Structures are given as structure tokens and as C-alpha cells.
Structure 1
Amino acid sequence: MERVLSNTAILQDFLLDAQVLLNESQECLQHLELISNDADACHCLSKALETLARRADASGVLEIAHYASALHRLLAPGCTSRNLPQGALPALADCLTLLAWQLELVDERTGHLNLDSSEQHLLLLTLAGVLDQPLPQACALCDENERHCVHPQLLNMPIEPKHAHGTSTRKD
């Protein structure tokens, strides 16, 4: 019973932190709507999404971890190059609206989000199209099972370039 209470406390802490990070993301987006391609606002937004993904993963809220990680990874190249296309901000606003809605629906006891991920996937596809970025790839396990990846810690592992023999190695 103590483990359930401990997990519930961790989850409650995450949900409070997630709301702060979501609010920060939305404020950064509003700033970008006023001053397009502002480096500080873009960096702030990217960092908030990255932090949200890491904290969600650590708290076991994998659906949110995947979504925030995918948003971060799609946004990062445009922020780095200070070149977010005009249609990116409305698409990103839609993504953040869904994220806010999902945070409200996370089961406070289990950390699960019992929703179909099709809307998430559709919004990520739209954002990827506007940003002219490929959709972040699923890890091998999820790719093999033909489902959306919920393992951002595997997605972020650096992959060495392919060697002459066609093999690749992962750094740990």
C-alpha cells in the first residue's frame, strides 16, 4: 500500500510541474506570435517541452513523455536555425492545446492516459509538415509492434553513423 501512495505522490508532483511547464510553453508561444523567430522565446519553448518529456518519463506518464519529446524534437531544428515557418505557430498552438487537455485527463492514480493517440499523431504530422521535418522515428520495439513509440529515452540515444559494412552502433 505504501508503494501506491508513493507513486501517487510522485504523479501528483509531476502533474503540478507539468502544468507550470505547459503554462511556460504557452507564454513562449505567445511571445513568438508577437516577435517571430525570437531566439529566447523559441529556446524557452523547446527547453520547457524537453523538461516536460523527461519529467513525464521519470514519472511513468509515457503518453505525455512521447508527445512532449516529439514536439521538442520537431521544434528544435527550427529554433536552432531561427527559421520557424509562418504556419508553425498555429500548428504548435493546436499541439499545446491537446497537451493541456491530455494533462487534465491523466489518471491521477495510475498515470495512464486512456485515449486513442490518433489525434496526437495527426497533430504531429501536421506540425512536421509545416516545419518540413520528418516525424520522429519510433524505437525498434514500437516500430516492430507497429505502434506509436512511448519510449523517449530510447529515441534520444545517439546513433553512430553506419559503417562500411552496413551496421550501426549505439553509444551508451
Structure 2
Amino acid sequence: MPNDRRNWNQRLPEFLIEAETLLAKSEECLSHLQLINNDKDAIDCMLSTLLKLANKANALALEAVSEFSLHIHGLLSHAQNHMELHDQALDALKDCFTLMAWQLELVDHTTGQLGLDSSEQTSLIEAFAFQVGQSPGQALAASRPLALVSYPQKQA
């Protein structure tokens, strides 16, 4: 189904630039976490940028990007409250960011669709879920109900 939001094709280039910036910021936070384990500020920064990315993607009806961001957000949020993020978890998170960056490059500028199946997203979400102590099925089900909420502009 084509993207049906108004004027999306005019807003898409701006979104892609902002999404790239948000992902770069998330990757910087991830690098920080690899140096300073479980730094709350770095985790909060990633959570904020993931939520902002999900909101922006949702506004353009880019469901695959929005839902992927929300899944990662949900798992990361749960993990920060229940465990330390070890190297394997951070590697799995980096793989998620890499796929998301790649997917953003593949958004069709004419239709707004991402012409890929969701199997790689699902496998990366499951891998990250496993690393943070959640079962794969539980991870996908638990992160689905996350609603898009407003965010303060200065957070991300």
C-alpha cells in the first residue's frame, strides 16, 4: 500500500536527513556505552532519539521504520531497568542501527514504501531481545503496544 499521508513526498527528503542525524546520534551514544558500560545518559539519549525517529517516521506513514524504532526502544528501555548491557547486547543493538540506516536509504522516493520483507528486522530484534534476556516472541509482542508519544524538542 502506498504512503497515503499528505505531502509526504515533499517532506521525505527532510525526514531522511533528520533520520540520518538521529541514527548517527544513537550510534555515538552506543559507542559511549561501549566505553562506559550502562551510562544512563547515553541510554536516555538513545531512547529519546529512537522515539523521535519513530514519531517522525510515523508522521510520514513509514511503518517499517517506525515500528522497528519502537521495538528497539521497548527492548532497550526494558533492558536498562533489568540488566547491564553487555558487549553482545551492544553488538546486537549496533546491528539494528546498521539495518535501520540501510533501510532508510532504500525507501522508495516515489511511493514511500520499503520494498523489503521484515524477516531481517525480526531476526535482529529477536537477537537483541535474546541478549537482553527476553524471549524473542515476548519481545515482539511486548514492544508492539508502544504508542507514539510527543517528545520535548530539546531531548534529541
Alignment TM class, shorter chain as reference? 0.7 to 0.9
Q: Which has the higher contact order (CA 8 A, sep 6+)?
A: 2
Structure 1 runs (4+) deviating above 4 angstroms are none
Which residue in the other structure is 2:73 paired with? 72
Structure-2 change in CA distance of 1:112 and 1:60 (3 Å): same
List gaps (5 residues or longer) in structure 2.
148-156
Q: Please tell me whether the aligned partners of residues 38 and 82 of structure 1 are also in contact (alpha carbons under 8 angstroms).
A: no
Q: Distance between the aligned counterparts of 2:77 and 2:30, measured in 1?
A: 14
Q: Deviations over 1:73-114 (max 9, x none)?
A: 110122245622332101111111111110110112222100
Q: Please tell me whether the aligned partners of residues 43 and 79 of structure 1 are also in contact (alpha carbons under 8 angstroms).
A: no
TM-score, structure 2 as length reference: 0.82
Could you tell me how far 1:6 is from its partner in structure 2? 2.5
Which residue in the other structure is 1:84 paired with? 85
The 5 Å alignment of 1:12-91 reads 12-81=13-82, 83-91=84-92
| Alignment: residue pair count | 141
Percent of aligned positions that are identical:
40
Superposition CA RMSD, Å: 2.2
Q: Please tell me whether the aligned partners of residues 38 and 80 of structure 2 are also in contact (alpha carbons under 8 angstroms).
A: yes
Could you tell me how far 1:32 is from its partner in structure 2? 0.5
TM-score, structure 1 as length reference: 0.75
List gaps (5 residues or longer) in structure 1.
140-151, 158-172
The 5 Å alignment of 1:75-154 reads 75-81=76-82, 83-133=84-134, 134-137=138-141
Structure with the greater alpha carbon radius of gyration: 1
